Amino acid sequence: MATVSSFEELDIWKQAREICMSVYEITCHENFNNDFRFCSQIRAAAGSIMDNIAEGFEREGNKEFIQFLFYAKGSCGELRSQLIRACDWKYITNEEFNKLKEDASKISTGIYNFIKYLKNSNFSGNRFK
């Protein structure tokens, strides 16, 4: 693996940022206007994915980084569950749901694969060289 000097360089963080922006955009729809709590929850879950990747990276140790990657993976599951509710409640279209669910699943898989890589690597910190 090439040297990674900041979390912004990680593909999983970039993908998490993209889904966070997409979730923000859909929650600006009129359907979310009267459900402020749910809107806040789904935005928080999406943001938590990228935030936990960033926080774990900044901890500078693989054990802690892996723990925060698991938190990020859990947030992917939380987001998928909330997307199901949003679709069930007709806040988002089936097309929006399918796209975001697929994106969240890909991110979750990417995080899992990165965790496996870190567990099997000889690196002890997050400044991978």
Greater pLDDT, 111 or 124? 111
Query: If you average pLDDT over residues 109-129, what whole number do you get?
Result: 81
| pLDDT single digits (tens) 23-53 | 999 999 999 999 999 999 999 999 999 999 9
pTM: 0.91
For domain 7-120, give its CATH number from 1.20.1440.60, 3.40.630.40, 2.60.40.1120, 3.40.50.1820: 1.20.1440.60
Q: Residue 8's closest CA among 48, 42, 58?
A: 58
Residue 122: is its pLDDT beyond 80? Answer: no
Q: Which pLDDT band, with edges at 50, 70 and 90, does 129 fall under?
A: very low
Dihedral of the CA atoms 6, 58, 74, 13 (nearest 10)? -10
pLDDT, mean over the chain: 93
What ranges in the chain are assigned the alpha helix state H?
11-27, 36-58, 62-88, 94-120
Q: Which pLDDT band, with edges at 50, 70 and 90, does 125 fall under?
A: low
Residue 78: is its pLDDT beyond 80? Answer: yes
User: CA-CA distance, 40 to 8, in Å (whole number)?
Assistant: 24
Task: Give 116: exposed, middle or buried? Use CB within 10 Å, 0-12, 13-18, 19+.
Answer: exposed
